Amino acid sequence: MTSRSRDDLVIRTMTRDDLDLAIEWAAAEGWNPGLHDAETYFATDPGGYFIGLLDGEPAGSVSAVKYSPQYAFMGFFIVKPELRGGLLGPKLVEHAFVHVGSAVAGLDGVVEQAERYAGIWGFEPAYHNMRYQGIATPTNATDARITGYAPRDLGDVERYDRQCFPSPRHAFLEAWLRQPGAHVLLLREGAALRGYGMIRPARDGYRIGPLFADDGRVAESLFDALVARVPSGGSVYIDIPQPNAEALALVTARGMTPMFETARMYRGPAPDIALDKVFGVTTLELG
Domain ranges of the chain: 2-126, 131-280
Q: Do domains 2-126 and 131-280 have the same CATH topology?
A: yes
State the pLDDT at residue 7.
Answer: 52
Cα-flanking dihedrals φ and ψ of residue 202, to 5°? -125, 180
Kindly tell me if the per-residue pLDDT of 41 is higher than 60.
Answer: yes
Say which CATH topology domain 2-126 has.
Answer: Aminopeptidase (3.40.630)
State the pLDDT at residue 218.
Answer: 98
Q: Which residues pair with residue 183 across a beta bridge?
A: 199
Kindly tell me if the per-residue pLDDT of 6 is higher than 90.
Answer: no
State the pLDDT at residue 3.
Answer: 46
Architecture of domain 131-280: 3-Layer(aba) Sandwich (3.40)
Mean pLDDT of 197-219: 98
User: Vertex 158, ends 152 and 159: CA angle to 5°?
Assistant: 110
C-alpha dist (Å) from residue 152 to 155, 158, 174, 195, 275: 7, 11, 11, 16, 26
pLDDT interval class at 4 (50, 70, 90): very low
Q: What are the residues whose beta carbons fall under 8 Å from the beta carbon of 112, sequence distance 6 or more?
A: none
Helices marked H in 101-190: 114-121, 154-164, 170-176
State the pLDDT at residue 9.
Answer: 83
Helices marked H in 53-113: 88-100
Higher pLDDT, 85 or 195: 195
In one-letter notation, the amino acid at residue 224 is D
pTM of the model: 0.94
Query: DSSP string covering 8-50, please?
Result: TEEEEEPPHHHHHHHHHHHHHTT---BTTHHHHHHHH-TTSEE
CA distance 201 to 183: 9
pLDDT interval class at 1 (50, 70, 90): low
Q: What is the mean pLDDT of the chain?
A: 93
pLDDT interval class at 5 (50, 70, 90): very low
